[in-house]
Amino acid sequence: MQRLQTTQAEQMIEEIKRLKEQRNAVILAHNYQVGEIQDLADYTGDSLKLSRQAAETDADLIVFCGVNFMAETASILCPDKTVLIPDPEAGCSLADTINVRQLRTWKRKHPGAVVVSYVNTSAEVKAESDYCCTSANAIKVVNAIPADREILFLPDVFLGTYVEQETGRKLQLWPGECHVHAGIRPDMVNAIRQQHPEAEFLVHPECGCLTPSLYYMSNGDVSKNGAHVLSTEGMLKYAKESCSSCFLVATEVGILHRMMKDNPGKTFLPVNPDAVCEYMKGTTLDKIYRSLIDNVYEVKVPKAVATKARVAIDRMLQIS
Ligand code: 13P
Ligand code: SF4
């Protein structure tokens, strides 16, 4: 039975590769996708790397294995290409915490403020923003804004708090959070760090554990030694370059696949093994195959929205 399932998966992968060639398609996969999809993809990466890859590709068709806001970003950057998302239900709890109506109301309360939106937002929210940012470049983006300007930072309160600490600037923060990262709690971090004092601690800035961890680190209650705040791609790069043999990983568990694959002699332990994003895991080989056969589900951002959103994205790409 196991062998039969493996053979079916292998056949499906071969079919997908054939269709991909036939259609001059490229498959992009976020670092939280299931392992077999990361292995099949032409490129894997974090939000920033995938946005860049989408902008640079010569392919006619982009199959985006990630969540909706990422496919929208790819469509904004490549208006002449077809962008497909295999799972149309792939949303994001963080992006859903703010819509364009709420943003306009917030802006009215802070006239003249500069709006910095994390990439985990809808295209409409990006279109109402001055700058876009990702976890890899949020600090650089905020540092590029004149010091006398008020900044509305959205939607992730943990990332925003971290950026405040690193830049020394007071930001207006939207109280949004991702349910997966908010579920990685400080008590889990403390417990696993006590069990593995020799290990390095890699933490995504969206984590619920981050703000308390930073606070305790600045107080000296939690050791700063071996703690690194990084985007998903930043974590992968760090793990490869570091001489350490054990890493505690505070983000969605999909990232462990490439970490282990790239570093056979090293150990990677999730701080919370239940940190699973169901939106990311909804993409399957079957759905990718269907996507290529039936040309579904196309992600197209209306031109007026795309043009405005592009300004915010381009400003980010120029800075990082
Ligand atoms: P990265 O930009 O680090 O890939 O993060 C995106 C995301 O959705 C985190 O949950
Ligand atoms: Fe959104 Fe959180 Fe899933 Fe990332 S892990 S896609 S922020 S719900």
Q: CATH second-level architecture of 2-91+280-301?
A: 3-Layer(aba) Sandwich (3.40)
Average pLDDT over residues 208-225: 71
182 lines ligand 2 (CB under 6 A): no
| pLDDT at res. 2 | 60
pLDDT above 90 coverage of the chain, percent: 81
Is pLDDT above 60 for 69? yes
Highest mean pLDDT among 52-66, 85-99, 178-192, 223-237: 85-99
Average pLDDT, the chain: 93
pTM recorded for the entire structure = 0.94
Average pLDDT over residues 33-53: 92
Multiple choice CATH, 181-270, 3.40.50.300, 3.40.50.10800, 3.40.50.2300, 3.30.1330.10 = 3.40.50.10800
Per-domain residue ranges of the chain: 2-91+280-301, 95-176, 181-270
Which of 181, 204, 210, 277 for a ligand 1 pocket mutation test, highest count of atoms within 8 Å of Cβ?
204
Domain 95-176 indexed as CATH 3.40.50.10800: yes
DSSP structure string for the chain: -HHHHHHHHHHHHHHHHHHHHHTTEEEEEETTS-HHHHHH-SEEE-HHHHHHHHHH---SEEEEES-HHHHHHHHHH-TTSEEE-S-TT---TTGGG--HHHHHHHHHHSTTPEEEEESSS-HHHHHT-SEEE-TTTHHHHHHTS-TTS-EEEESBHHHHHHHHHHH----EE--B--HHHHTS-HHHHHHHHHH-TTSEEEE-TT-TTHHHHHHHHHHTSS--TTEEE--HHHHHHHHHH---SEEEEES-TTHHHHHHHH-TT-EEEES-TT---HHHHT--HHHHHHHHHHT--B----HHHHHHHHHHHHHHHHH-
Distance 156 CA to ligand 1 centre (A): 11
pLDDT tens digits for 108-155? 999 999 999 999 999 999 999 999 999 889 999 999 999 999 999 999
Is pLDDT above 80 for 10? yes
Distance 293 CA to ligand 1 centre (A): 29
